[in-house]
A and B are shown apart, each in its own frame.
Chain A
């Protein structure tokens, strides 16, 4: 499955989901496909913490659905994130693991043990109840409603090809992103994030 076509399909099915993306291909491709500045937090500097960041947010806005994208490079740095996710049982969070078996933000240098890593198996071993794996766009489209739109915490492995080129980074700076994203959440949820 190609990352671009996968993200284009996801973007076409997206309604009110907040999105958090990890460094490298996830952030850059989501930006290229959507150019969304307000409802996405491009967590370009995180090295494995997107799902924890997402979990903290999800706790506070239980009625807002949340999509979190982690690259497998980041996942390898902190697979224990799934223990915390499993413990929290966040019904509004879907965690997509974008697996391209390389470090996409650093010119696609291969991951350790790249060919053998079984991310879905790791998630199941940690007790995550809803683990899904897709390596074809047709399969992803066929099962999308159950895999992604159904309520409940889900861990969805998207096996994709390497992009093969460096993509452009989202152009926003950190504080700009903070306020765009935060104001968007305030508007959508009615909660107060920023002090007067």
Chain B
């Protein structure tokens, strides 16, 4: 028996593996808006959000624009996720501290843990050295997802962001994103 075309489309578009688990966890939070800038580690994830009709995926011109867009979405009652690489996140200190800290606006942010163990890209060495200390220096709450079992931390991070009225970062290790 053949399936209806729309069911087949949905199945074809459904992300699998860890990417699928992450997408489902985000959807379970009630998040509708995903603003992204790419990193090679998250290209599959970005594509999965883009294909999934439960989300409005917006490709932005720079990471700070994702912070602005998602912060405004809060006032539209829209759950939002800013998705970016570690380098992009490093450029967002001003936007995060001035907008989200000043006005106490919650926000969930996904970043890649570039420069960590196993990342052979020399241009990410600075992220390995400074990313976590930078987050700690601005008192940015974060959780590390370095195994598939920890994907469930996403919803806890989202909830914590709402309680704290400030951003919470979820940092993904390579093995979770590129299974």
Which A residues are closer than 8 A to B by beta carbons?
20, 41, 43, 45-61, 78, 80-81, 83-84, 87-88, 174-175, 177-178, 181-182, 185, 189, 191-193, 195
Contacts and interface: CB of A to CB of B under 8 A. Distances in A.
26 contacts: A20-B72, A45-B98, A47-B95, A47-B98, A48-B64, A49-B64, A49-B95, A50-B68, A51-B68, A53-B99, A55-B72, A56-B33, A56-B72, A56-B73, A56-B80, A58-B72, A59-B76, A60-B75, A80-B65, A84-B58, A174-B102, A175-B104, A185-B77, A191-B76, A193-B74, A193-B75
Q: How large is the interface on B (under 10, 10 to 19, 20 to 34, 35 or more residues)?
A: 20 to 34
B105 interface: yes
Nearest to A20: B72
Contacts of A177: 103
B76 A49 contact: no
Given A59-B33, A59-B56, A88-B58, A185 B75 contact: yes
B70 interface: yes
B162 interface: yes
Interface of A is mostly: helix
A87 B58 contact: yes
Given A59-B33, A181-B75, A192-B77, A46 B69 contact: no
Interface of B: 33, 56, 58-62, 64-65, 67-78, 80, 94-95, 98-99, 102-105, 162, 165
Given A49-B67, A52-B68, A174-B103, A41 B75 contact: yes
Contacts of A60: 73, 75-78
Contacts of B105: 178
A91 B25 CA distance: 31
A191 B77 contact: yes
Nearest to A185: B75
Contacts of B94: 47
Contacts of A57: 72-73, 75-76
